[in-house]
Structure 1
Amino acid sequence: MHILAHRGYHAALPENTMDAFEAALTLGFEGIETDVRLSRDAELVLFHNRVAPNGVAVADLTHAELQQAVGYAVPRLDEALDAFSCAFWNIELKVPAAQAATIATLKRYQHSRRLLLTSFRHDVVLACAHELSIDCGFLSAHRPAALNSLAHAALHEPRLRTFVWDYEILDSGLLEMANTIGFRNYVYGAHTQAEHELCASLGVHGVITDHPEFVKLPQRGLHSQTRH
């Protein structure tokens, strides 16, 4: 089971920062889940929220202005991929505006990094799966009425064989159906030890978590790496 750090390990650090990524890998996480947005000056910035703390949308701020608003260095996508080349990266594409630039950037890394691109915007995922030679997945916070209808759109994209589910909507039948039709299952949003144990018992392929204390990680530093 893949264990990914949700926005890096940010218990005492700003999320989605180089320090949070390094801390996660030092703890023994196999990889990182991070969020990609497009700044006003066309930079692919790793930032979760749509709006910065100053009340301005990230899309309306330059990279420098965003960093000033949050008070810390906000990494660019290529900067993180360059610095931590051995990590398994789950890149969540937050907005369609970042689609073209993200595709162009990931084409430079698709044969040298372990990558999974996901989004709640399933149309964006389809477009990326068509253009890229990396694994792609549909993020879902709602249980579909019929799983086949969700999977049907992916049938012509062989790299699009992953579902990333909110913990709230999990059940064994849903996961079994996904496996039966050839999809891998990842889960985000588990918060207690019991919830993490349930994910493991259900045989999910990956867990995206903020809680290293509830998952089995390799010995400290086994998968860590210094920045290049």
Structure 2
Amino acid sequence: MEVLGHRGSRVPGPENTVEAVDAALRAGVDGVEVDVRRSADGDLVCVHDARLSRPVGRAVIRQSTAALRAHGIPLLDEVLDAWAGRGRLICEIKNQPGQPDFDAPRERTARALVDVLRARGHTGARPGPADLDAGRGGITVSSFDWFAIEAVRDAELAVTTAFLTMPRMSVGGGLTYVQSAGHAELHAHTSAVLGSGGSHGPAAVARARAAGIRLVVWTVTGPTEARALHDAGVSGAICDDPVGVRAALTE
């Protein structure tokens, strides 16, 4: 099972920073996930929330790149430099209804990300499931917004795409879309995989494998969940403390 850092690594953090990404990868985790938004200048930055905690309530999309960097928010380019091809990097495009930067189906953030990755040479054939299983996945782009990942899917980049689902969506429902849309992975919530019912646990994993889809689970908060997911046979787990989870699974 791939062990992937959530927001770089929330433990010890700080999340979505160059330091968190570099520390997790140096410690030997299989990859990291970071959140991607746009600044007022159109640059891509790594931050989870749509609004800043300081100054309270200021929308990220309305702040200059310089102002965001002064708050410790890095450019995606800086995170890409820190990643430097080590393991897998998952870039989650944040584009959700009700947030100030929501713009589906125009998908400015997704299209800006395509431009960044193309300029960095991530073009060519997309990795397949076997590449991902072997740790040769490179970059994956995920989102709750299917318009975003479809824009990336259609851009002829050497990256994979993944559909990220809310807790209320079943694994089966997510897999139906992922398979029809040609994405590589479903990133399902832990409750959708470890909850009760016939479509959960090993049954969900079996359905994903039968569909040729990798099942990655978010967010794993401790070793107990990680062991349960490992035993269920999921392909990967996005973890707040990836180094701790890796150590627990090794033990």
Distance change (3 Å), C-alpha of 1:99 and 1:149: closer
Q: Give me the identity figure in percent.
A: 28
After TM superposition, list the pairs within 5 Å mapping 1:1-228 onto structure 2: 1-53=1-53, 54=55, 55-68=57-70, 70=71, 72=72, 74-87=73-86, 88-95=88-95, 96-107=107-118, 108-111=120-123, 114-131=138-155, 132-144=157-169, 147=172, 151-152=176-177, 154-155=179-180, 157=182, 160-170=183-193, 171-172=200-201, 173-211=203-241, 212-216=243-247
Q: What's 2:132 paired with?
A: none
TM-score by length of 1: 0.84
Count of residue pairs brought into register by the alignment: 214
Superposed displacement of residue 180, structure 1: 1.1
1:188 and 1:109 map into 2 onto residues whose CA distance is 29
SS in 2 for 1:137: strand
TM-score by length of 2: 0.77
After superposition, give the CA deviation of every residue in 1:73-118 in whole Å (9 maximum; x if it has no partner): x221222212321221011011233111101112234259801110
- Contact kept, 8 Å, 1:28 with 1:217, in 2: the verdict is no
2:249 and 2:111 map into 1 onto residues whose CA distance is 36
Q: What's 2:103 paired with?
A: none
2:21 and 2:245 map into 1 onto residues whose CA distance is 19
RMSD after superposition: 2.4
2:20 and 2:171 map into 1 onto residues whose CA distance is 38
Higher relative contact order (CA 8 A, sep 6+): 1
SS in 1 for 2:220: coil
1:66 and 1:18 map into 2 onto residues whose CA distance is 14
Q: Which runs of 5+ in 1 are unaligned?
A: 220-228
SS in 2 for 1:189: strand
Q: Which runs of 5+ in 2 are unaligned?
A: 96-106, 125-136, 194-199
